Structure 1
Amino acid sequence: MYDAIVIGAGPAGLQAALTLGRMHRPTLLLDSGEYRNGTVLHMHNVIANDGTPPAEFRATARAQLAEYPDVELRDVGAQTVTGSDGGFVVRLADGETVETRHVILATGVADDLPDIPGLQDLWGTKAFSCPFCDGHEHAGRSIGILGPAPRAEHLIGLLGRIVGDITVFPVEQPFSADETRTLEGLGVRVSAEPVAAVAPEAADVRITTASTAHTVAGVFVASGSLRHRAPFADQLGLELLPSGSIEIDDFGRTSQPGVFAAGDLAHRASLPGPMASVLLASAAGQMAAVGVIQSLMAH
């Protein structure tokens, strides 16, 4: 029986496994090969790794984990998690079952994008959601913002001092006259027609509506939603926050004793939602691992 099984090998899961390995706790890290930033070419706002390809970051982390004999890494996902504090059974995608005293959920979330033709193909390379991650790369350049007015206003506030000109495009329905006036008052252009499609155009992006076409350097999406990549929160009956994320305490503990969560799928009740950040996910993974070690010491 493992002391901990970490499900998910993004920044949160990798850091959790490293912390457990350094404390000589038998740990199994499961890597399904699916990552929220799987299409991203370079990650940013990560000190000492600014501009590093996420795949390189993961490869370096895996190589470092290989130095710890108490950490076992398997390239397989998990299908189900059952059990209770002190004894959980994880069924793997290959049919095998493994047992553990604690579980750390680090499977992350997936972005459900608005149904705009071409958008999924540009996601992570020319279409983004996070100004902290991708705003600087568009400094002084034209961008488009796709989405409802209130969320577009938030992006304008963050990106306005960084980028060149901004054009805001509604999704599905045109903006109301009041919304248009409010947005234009922020110094941006507003499309009268909803976005119909996006497509690459050399190094830029072509945004089309029913009657016009616009060329921008990149697109920021102000609509869409997040969903859990895996069903484990439901399987374990974990308490969720209004954001849809798993509720955790400062040490990543969930409402189910023995189950911890870290990364984009969880946050504390004091925060309005998950914060997409490699550094914050890594820190959450470390705290969850510390929480596991505290529990092991108490028993």
Structure 2
Amino acid sequence: MNDVIIIGGSFAGIAAALQLGRARRKVTVLDTGLPRNRFAGHSHGLLGHDHKPPLEILAEARQQLTRYPTIRLVNARADSVSGAIDHYSVLTGDGESLGARRLILSYGVVDQMPDIPGFAESWGTSIVPCPYCDGFEVAGQHWGLVWSGPQSHNYVRLYHDWTDTLTVFADGHDIPPDIQADLARRHIPVVDGRIIEITHLGGHNAIVKLDNGPNVALDILFAHPRNKPSASLHESLGLATVDTPVGVVLKVDERRETSMPGIYAAGDLATPFLPSVTLASSQGAMAGIFAQQSMLV
């Protein structure tokens, strides 16, 4: 019987495992090896690991876990979860049945790419979602933003800390008149029409092709496609969720516990705002610590 099974072994899951392993708790981490940021060449903003490839950081972190004898890393998918607090059961894709007193869900989300030629191929290089992750490297250059809804107005104000040259692509959205007036006041051009293709030019550079006008060359393009959890275990468990402008995340309390006692969540799966390896690592550590403390006698 494990003390904790962690489903998802990227930044949040590994951080949780580290805390639990140091507390000498028996832990199994199940991971499929497909972290959300695997498309990015570098990860930024993580203390001590700034500007390193994310897969390299994760590989080093997993190697460091080998010094803790109570941690087991398993390359497998969790197919189903059942039970209740102190008696959870997880069935893996390899047919192994595992028991645990607590669960930590950190299997992340997957981005749902729009049906635009070149978009998926440019994701993580010339098309990115997070200025905290990539903004410094292209500061002062020409940015683009694909409008996705009212929340995009906040992104316009946020990006001003990095650049004064921004082009907004309406991409079929009707931007309210008051927001259009604010964009005009900020001298931010709005390009009408739908995006029909993205051409990646190397580095962060891209060309946006439209259905009703000339192409627009950019130094980087920011976009926020909808995402969804990378697994459906939370649905089978009936866990409470929260709707956000870009997708669904799990509802957690200040201790990272979900609506079901003994199940915790961390990382993008339970983060209703900008994705970040720093936040994921912090949340994972919190989930591990609070899961451990919940088992004290």
**Which amino acid in 1 is paired with 2:250?**
I
Q: Please name the residue that 2:228 is paired with.
A: 227
> Contact between 2:207 and 2:216, CA under 8 Å: does it hold in 1?
yes
Between 167-176 and 85-94, report the one with greater CA deviation. Answer: 167-176
Aligned mates of 1:30, 1:250 — CA distance in 2:
25
> In the alignment, does 2:292 pair up with 1:293?
yes
Supply the distance in 2 between the matched residues of 1:187 and 1:241 (Cα, whole angstroms).
Answer: 35
Higher strand share: 2
Over residues 241-263 of structure 1, what are the superposed CA-to-partner deviations in whole Å (9 max), with x where a residue is unaligned? 24332111222111111211111
Whether the aligned pair in 2 keeps the contact of 1:108 and 1:263 (CA below 8 Å) is yes
Deviations 1:196-219 (A, max 9, x none): 211112442010112311111110
Q: Which deviations, in whole Å up to 9, do the C-alpha atoms of 1:113-136 show, x marking residues without a partner?
A: 333221111111111111111111
Task: Confirm whether residue 61 of structure 1 aligns to residue 61 of structure 2.
Answer: yes
Q: Is the Cα–Cα contact under 8 Å of residues 10 and 35 in structure 2 kept in the other structure?
A: yes
The structural deviation recorded for 1:110 is 1.6
Q: Is residue 153–residue 179 contact of structure 2 (8 Å, CA) maintained in 1?
A: no
Quote the sequence identity (%): 33
Answer whether contact 1:29 1:73 (CA < 8 A) is retained. yes
- TM-score normalised by the chain length of structure 2: 0.92
Mark the runs of 5 or more structure 1 residues left unpaired by the alignment.
268-272
CA contact (8 A) 1:44 1:134 kept: yes
Over 3 Å counting, the alpha-carbon distance change for 1:62 and 1:148 in structure 2 is closer
Q: Which residue of 1 aligns with 2:184?
A: 184
1:205 correspondence with 2:209: no
Shift of 1:158: 1.4
Q: Does 1:257 align with 2:261?
A: yes
Q: Secondary structure at the match of 1:197?
A: strand
Q: How many positions carry a matched residue from both structures?
A: 292
> Could you say which residue in structure 2 is the equivalent of 1:10?
10
Distance, in Å, in 1 between the alignment partners of 2:276 and 2:161 is 21
Contact 1:149 1:179 in 2 (8 A): no
Partner of 2:239: 238
Partner of 2:36: 36
Q: Post-superposition shift, 1:177?
A: 5.9
Q: Which amino acid aligns with 1:217?
A: D
TM-score (norm 1): 0.92
Backbone CA RMSD of aligned residues? 1.8
SS of match in other structure, 1:198: strand
User: Displaced runs of 4+ in structure 1, greater than 6 A?
Assistant: none
Q: Which residues of 2 match residues 94-173 of structure 1 at below 5 A?
A: 94-148=94-148, 150-173=150-173
